[in-house]
Structure 1
Amino acid sequence: MNVQSFPPIIDENSRILILGSMPGAASLRAHRYYWNPRNYMWRILYALFGDGGLPEEDYDSRISFALSQGIALWDVIASCERKGSLDSEIKQAVPNDLPGLLVRYPGIETLVCNGSKSFSELTKHFGEHSEIRKRTLLRLPSTSPIPTRDYRGLEDRLEAWSRIKSC
């Protein structure tokens, strides 16, 4: 099935751009970034930049919170063929115009790849581009709830993601 990502969530105050690969099925249905309730993204952002409490229930409040912390959201992939939500199922990926976005928002200092697929697609399509190379690039573990060899749950992902606090 052909799927398409959303427009970026970004403003002139954004310093950190978190890049997913492609929203999962639950997020695509809701047309909201990281809307699968099991995904750790919102809990990580609120733990690192908020008062440690749970994320707001309201999506617009979550977006306002992220932007107020200088955090922007987008995906490396604009469209692809994929069944379900797994990155391993992504085929025929077409990238978003990340260099163009960075020209329009020069305040972005750090690009944070949310998982391996985001990182591999970014470096495959734009790894040598000057707009990418002049920024700090962080490859962090996916906020997906699926356990990996190195990341079993929220706590270890939160520890890894704490690196963005110094950006």
Structure 2
Amino acid sequence: MFNIYETPFSNDYEVRKQLLYNNNIALWDVLESCESIGSADDAIKNEKANDFKLFYQKYPAIKKVYFTSKAAEKYYDRYVLKSPDKSYFVLPSPSRANTWKSFEEKLQEWNIIIH
């Protein structure tokens, strides 16, 4: 996100939150909780989705939703369902496991999709 918004990188949590706030970005996981052995998406079980209905009621200006993986979109589709008043996009996963694309390739795709 720092690269996309041409801002110097920071590890400071407050600076990171401010970057999102300054660019009108809400960040929320699709799943509130789950059980998993390891970090693979297919290891997830007993998942519980966040309450997006309440979230969208509280923040009605949200019109674009971005997923950082196809798995996140899959859980969203399973528990939330897409609304015709929003646009949905799957971004290239930032995960290091997504090794078939370089950081620069992922960054270029993120830039195109987000802007």
Q: Same fold (TM over 0.5)?
A: yes
Q: Please say if 1:139 is aligned against 2:90.
A: yes
The equivalent residue for 1:48 is 4
8 Å CA contact 1:114, 1:139 repeated in 2: yes
The correspondence for 1:115, drawn from 65, 69, 79, is 69
Q: Counterparts of 1:88-167 in structure 2 under 5 Å? A: 88-128=42-82, 132-148=83-99, 151-162=100-111, 163-165=113-115
Scaled by the length of structure 2, the TM-score of the pair is 0.89
d(CA) in 2 for partners of 1:121, 1:156: 26
Q: Please provide the CA RMSD for this pair.
A: 1.5
d(CA) in 2 for partners of 1:117, 1:147: 13
The structure showing larger relative contact order (alpha-carbon pairs under 8 Å, at least 6 residues apart) is: 1
Give the aligned residue type for 1:164.
I
Give the aligned residue type for 1:142.
S
Q: What percentage of residue pairs aligned between the two structures are identical?
A: 27
After TM superposition, the runs of 4+ consecutive aligned structure 1 residues lying more than 3 A away are: none
Tell me the CA shift for residue 85 of structure 1. Answer: 2.3
Question: Paired residues, what number?
Answer: 114
Question: Mind listing any 5+ residue stretches in structure 1 that lack a counterpart?
Answer: 1-44
Question: Mind listing any 5+ residue stretches in structure 2 that lack a counterpart?
Answer: none
Q: Counterparts of 1:1-12 in structure 2 under 5 Å? A: none
The equivalent residue for 2:24 is 70
Deviations 1:114-166 (A, max 9, x none): 101110011111225xxx33111111121111135xx422111112111112x
d(CA) in 2 for partners of 1:143, 1:156: 11
d(CA) in 2 for partners of 1:69, 1:152: 26
Tell me the CA shift for residue 90 of structure 1. Answer: 0.7
